[in-house]
Structure 1
Amino acid sequence: MGAEKITNTNTNFKWNFIENTLENLKETNLYRGMNELNSAQSAHVNFQGKDLLMLASNSYLDMSNDPQVKIYTKNIIDEYGVGSGGSRLTTGTTSIHKQLESLLAKFKGTEAALVYNTGYMANVGVISTLCSKDAIIFSDELNHASIIDGCRLSQAKIVVYRHNDMNDLEDKIIANPCSRGLIVSDAVFSMDGDIVNLSRVVEIAEKYELFSMIDEAHATGVIGERGLGTVEHYHMDKKPDITMGTLSKAIGSEGGFVCGKEILIEYLKNKSRSFIFSTSLSPAVMASSIKAIELILNEPQRVQALQGNIQYFCQCLRESGIEADSKSSIIPIVIGNEKKVMEISKELFEQGYYISAIRYPTVKKGSARLRVTLMSTHTKEELKRTAQTIGNIVNKYKGVTNELYSTI
């Protein structure tokens, strides 16, 4: 006798929680969708047949559309093809991969470097490899999700300290003594745009014999006289033990990287699961990163143009009635209410400005914001016009509500 087929009279029952969750997101103005672009990621993009000034991209130096980067990448494709064919420890390492890692080590002033497939995989891989159940991780409360997930995956004890508060960090280290530990922080915080107190992080880590690690995703190519990052920004001689970063932001390509002592890199090659079990990035992606880093090193005026744009745009915002001050390319304008920030972002889109609305869970509830990010190739005229438009729209909404509008 055959087994009876089990049927459920409500065939959609198993999907109900998904449907309900999506409906709840829509009702609370937290539902997310994707905007399909029909052009290169650059200072101007084509969206739904309309030219928009891009002010939400992390391609801070406009490298993803740079002619020199594209020509060099095309030449590497002709020689190496479009795929790597395997993981880095099998067949997926080419001379282009090694060239990029050597250049990254030179760029960050370390003994060695290792490329991961994404910045997310780099953070998850490094933290979960260095730390385990017997370790304690001291993590800034505003760290990126990839750091948080790496901490969780490690199964170490996680102690969260107040944002960029070095006194609170040290107090919590004293209250949680350990024989093996890590202090980890963003270098430039991705939603607020402020910069870690790196000298104190390194000093405290050395004092208590902890590893120090910073995520320079939004610092590389942006801060420091030559765009070398946080160490250069603070004119430090002593570096953190681990410098992580991405190739997908100012460098305009794809991937993540880790720089540090050679012994660290060798350890990660042999123990880091997100590195070992991933097919490597293509030689074409490696090539685009190589050329972009060379341009940053050889043409410092690109970084200087970005830093000049940051200062000028903040000045224009202040003249338009919005307090603003940032040393990074991230300039948040806090609206507070999720519905209002969506309305403002939509109005900016309609007027030709691509500026994203950032909401929970990316930021805390009630701190929804416009997240403006600048490129080195934005013109002064474009930035002034943008600041005036933002000021007009935001102040219009401010006139009908008691909510606070400001930058952090």
Structure 2
Amino acid sequence: MLASLQRELDQRKADGLLRQRRLLDSPQAEHIVANQQPYLSFCSNDYLGLANHPDLIAAMQKAAGDSGVGSGASGLVTGHHRYHDELEQQLARFVELPAALLFSTGYMANIGVLGALVGRGDAIFADKLNHACLNDGGYFSHAEFHRYPHNDVAALEKLLQASTAKHKLIAADAVFSMDGDIAPIPEYLALCEKYDAYLYIDDAHGFGVLGEHGKGSLNHFKIKSPRIIMMATLGKAAGVAGSFVAGEQVVIDYLIQKAKSYVYSTPAPPALSATLSASVKLIEQGDHLRANLQALIQYLKANLKLNKWRLMDSDTTIQPLVVGDNLEALALSEYLQTCGILVPAIRPPTVPVGTARLRISLSATHTMDDMKKLVAAIHQAERELCA
């Protein structure tokens, strides 16, 4: 078996698909130290620049002193701390849904929710470009698992129309992590109402960034419905860690009983929840941060003019630069590193074959000077690498 594993690793390296970790020696920020070198970073999902915010550091230090550093037991034994409970109520109010439930990660939330709400005899309808955790949640649920072409409302309707499943659930990312585009959520909700289905939205990359005061993608579209269940992660725009699911009270009550990744897990330390309570307040007060993000996005789209490579059409903090070839995408990423800039190369199976890309992630703490440096370096790279 070991020889087989090594052969597969060697082949991945030859195909330009071998993934490697960087060692970070600084807080997460727009300027970091990785592998003992300073870089301007466009790698992080810390969209509002809160991961190193002094208010959150102080909140965590105080809360650790008050509550210790571990939860010690599952949430259904003695692990559900007042800090957890207060954060759940605060998040539900913020996203304007009746109730919320914390999970340790977004991956655990998606697996737990889909596995609890649907099963054999039911059906999940999933976007072809959904994140891996939504796909895994669908597979583990034992429900029929149907995938429709990306953002294709007509194809989805045909699948719903043909389904005889007892319960139907549409599952989709709100903002797609590798393309940066936004799902047609209002159209999905209309299909739910027409075909008696429910809508599960993964708002990992919309929460904190989209909508009024950063309330997320549902607020962005100004839609509400008891048919909607949303999940959002708390390690991206919120700057800390974890995730939550929000929806009708009966849904949350049911998940507490049936979501295995909740029932059989020790909750994150209470201090993280206290820190996140401070983070939600900063998100709500962060309109100036979101305004700066929009200015950065517009600058990049207006000024990055390329002949071979292509910036995808995205109005979000995720700006994908499609290169195509795996090795060429790696070469571009490595070239930018020589300029002191980190932008990750994303290759299959994370993205479709032939669409290897650089995933440019913007943060509200980036400046226009940072953007000018990035644009100039990419222009120079195209001239040198594509000559």
Q: Percent identity?
A: 37
After superposition, residues 195-234 of structure 1 pair within 5 angstroms as: 195-234=182-221
2:377 aligned with 1:393? no
Q: Which residue of 2 aligns with 1:103?
A: 90
- 3-state DSSP of counterpart to 1:124: helix
In the alignment, the residues of structure 2 paired with residue 246 and residue 128 of structure 1 have an alpha-carbon distance, to the nearest angstrom, of 18
Q: Which residue of 1 aligns with 2:28?
A: 41
The question of whether the paired residues in 2 share the 8 Å contact of 1:202 and 1:239 is answered with no
Distance apart, 1:96 and its partner CA = 0.5
- 3-state DSSP of counterpart to 1:285: helix
Q: Which residue of 2 aligns with 1:329?
A: 317
Distance apart, 1:306 and its partner CA = 1.8
The question of whether the paired residues in 2 share the 8 Å contact of 1:331 and 1:372 is answered with yes
Q: Which residue of 1 aligns with 2:223?
A: 236
2:369 aligned with 1:369? no
Match of 2:238 among 251, 254, 258: 251
2:344 aligned with 1:356? yes
In the alignment, the residues of structure 2 paired with residue 292 and residue 395 of structure 1 have an alpha-carbon distance, to the nearest angstrom, of 42
Distance apart, 1:98 and its partner CA = 0.6
Q: Which region of structure 1 is more displaced relative to structure 2, 131-140 or 311-320?
A: 311-320
- 3-state DSSP of counterpart to 2:365: coil
- 3-state DSSP of counterpart to 1:164: coil
Amino acid at match of 2:93: K
Match of 1:81 among 68, 75, 80: 68
- 3-state DSSP of counterpart to 1:64: coil
Match of 1:188 among 168, 175, 187: 175
**Unaligned ranges ≥5, structure 1:** 1-13, 400-408
The 1:323/1:118 distance shift into structure 2, 3 A limit, reads closer
Distance apart, 1:319 and its partner CA = 8.1
Q: Which region of structure 1 is more displaced relative to structure 2, 92-101 or 229-238?
A: 229-238
Match of 2:138 among 143, 151, 168: 151
**Unaligned ranges ≥5, structure 2:** none
2:122 aligned with 1:135? yes
Distance apart, 1:387 and its partner CA = 1.3
Distance apart, 1:236 and its partner CA = 2.6
After superposition, residues 251-290 of structure 1 pair within 5 angstroms as: 251-290=238-277
Distance apart, 1:311 and its partner CA = 1.8
In the alignment, the residues of structure 2 paired with residue 335 and residue 322 of structure 1 have an alpha-carbon distance, to the nearest angstrom, of 7
In the alignment, the residues of structure 1 paired with residue 69 and residue 360 of structure 2 have an alpha-carbon distance, to the nearest angstrom, of 34
Q: Which residue of 1 aligns with 2:327?
A: 339
In the alignment, the residues of structure 2 paired with residue 46 and residue 207 of structure 1 have an alpha-carbon distance, to the nearest angstrom, of 52
Q: Which residue of 2 aligns with 1:5?
A: none
The question of whether the paired residues in 1 share the 8 Å contact of 2:179 and 2:314 is answered with no
In the alignment, the residues of structure 1 paired with residue 19 and residue 306 of structure 2 have an alpha-carbon distance, to the nearest angstrom, of 33
Distance apart, 1:240 and its partner CA = 5.2
In the alignment, the residues of structure 1 paired with residue 261 and residue 213 of structure 2 have an alpha-carbon distance, to the nearest angstrom, of 31
In the alignment, the residues of structure 2 paired with residue 232 and residue 280 of structure 1 have an alpha-carbon distance, to the nearest angstrom, of 28
The question of whether the paired residues in 1 share the 8 Å contact of 2:226 and 2:248 is answered with no
- 3-state DSSP of counterpart to 1:226: helix
The question of whether the paired residues in 2 share the 8 Å contact of 1:231 and 1:239 is answered with no
Distance apart, 1:276 and its partner CA = 0.5
Amino acid at match of 2:19: R
In the alignment, the residues of structure 1 paired with residue 12 and residue 108 of structure 2 have an alpha-carbon distance, to the nearest angstrom, of 28
Distance apart, 1:386 and its partner CA = 0.6
Distance apart, 1:299 and its partner CA = 3.2
In the alignment, the residues of structure 2 paired with residue 145 and residue 51 of structure 1 have an alpha-carbon distance, to the nearest angstrom, of 31
Distance apart, 1:326 and its partner CA = 2.1
Amino acid at match of 1:20: R
Q: Which residue of 2 aligns with 1:166?
A: 153
2:279 aligned with 1:292? yes
Question: 4+ residue runs of structure 1 moved beyond 6 angstroms?
Answer: none
In the alignment, the residues of structure 1 paired with residue 330 and residue 160 of structure 2 have an alpha-carbon distance, to the nearest angstrom, of 40
For residues 153-181 of structure 1, give each alpha carbon's deviation from its aligned partner in whole angstroms, at most 9, with x where no partner exists. Answer: 00111111111010111011112232211
- 3-state DSSP of counterpart to 1:268: helix
TM-score normalized by the length of structure 1: 0.92
